[in-house]
Amino acid sequence: MMEATTQAEVTAYWNARAPAFDGVASHVAQGGVWRDVLAAAFGAGGPRDVVDLGSGTGACALIAASLGHRVRGYDGSEGMLAVARAAAEAAGLSVSFDAAVIDQAAIEPASADIVTLRNVLWTLEQPMVALAQAHAALRPGGMVLVSDGLWSVAPQFRSTYDPALAARLPWHGGLTEADARRMLAETGFGDARSWQHLFASPPYPGDVPMFVLSARKA
Ligand SMILES: C[S@@+](CC[C@H](N)C(=O)[O-])C[C@H]1O[C@@H](n2cnc3c(N)ncnc32)[C@H](O)[C@@H]1O
């Protein structure tokens, strides 16, 4: 479990940022492109059970719901979830958003077909615990989708923490695709498949190297 003060500091940061987050987030400007990428990664098929870990203002959760899936989102920050709930209501989408840190979220084991973690691994003190939670939440054959970037490449554009907090987060500088592939394999997922080639241009300012990977639970 993440150390209590570390998590409290992370959550306080996001509560403070919540009202203005969507105003600067590149996922808003690129919402349509992200929808296409997630739709491709999720693949064809009927409605599935999606769990979005570290939902924030709900970007991935809302896209998944708009694609017809049944979605549950979890985040430690009530402030971020308030924005997510308002966005879901405004869009007429039904998504349940629960305030919970990932490793304590009450997610029934083997209850999800897809688990998403976008731009969350970098801010966790124990990201492997979160990936284990994703693995446990999935049904056999289910898919985890992780996306993140090497945020240290463009510090002027990134969300940044107090240095003392940042020093306690192993991936505060960001992750490469190779890092994430290793972490997925170590968690027990099968071969990962990348999707970032579907972006016609880099989705983040500062040309931050980023990845979108999916991998299945055996
Ligand atoms: C950079 S935002 C990403 C939000 C969203 N996934 C997106 O792609 O827009 C990181 C989010 O992770 C959440 N978070 C950080 N640590 C968490 C934890 N241990 N459990 C749940 N959420 C957490 C923060 O509150 C914040 O909303």
DSSP bridge pairs for 145: 116, 214
Q: In a mutational test of the pocket of ligand 1, which residue from 107, 120, 133, 145 has the highest number of ligand atoms less than 8 Å from its CB? A: 120
Cα(217)–Cα(32) distance, integer angstroms:
28
Atom of ligand 1 nearest to the CA of 102: 20
How does DSSP classify residue 6? H
Q: Which CATH number fits domain 4-19+29-216: 3.40.50.150, 3.40.1710.10, 3.40.50.300, 3.40.1350.10?
A: 3.40.50.150
Each of the 218 residues of the chain gets a pLDDT tens digit; together they read 556 799 999 999 999 999 998 887 777 778 889 999 999 999 999 999 999 999 999 999 999 999 999 999 999 999 999 999 999 999 999 999 999 999 999 999 999 999 999 999 999 999 999 999 999 999 999 999 999 999 999 998 888 899 999 999 999 999 999 999 999 999 999 999 999 999 998 899 999 999 999 999 99
CA of 146 to the centre of ligand 1 (A): 13
Residue tagged 């979890």 (tokens): 74
Q: Please state the domain extents for the chain.
A: 4-19+29-216
Residues, the chain, total? Answer: 218
Residue tagged 């960001």 (tokens): 174
CA of 198 to the centre of ligand 1 (A): 24
Maximum CA extent, the chain: 46
DSSP bridge pairs for 53: 74
Amino acid residing at 53 = L
Q: Ligand 1, atom 4: nearest CA belongs to which residue?
A: 56
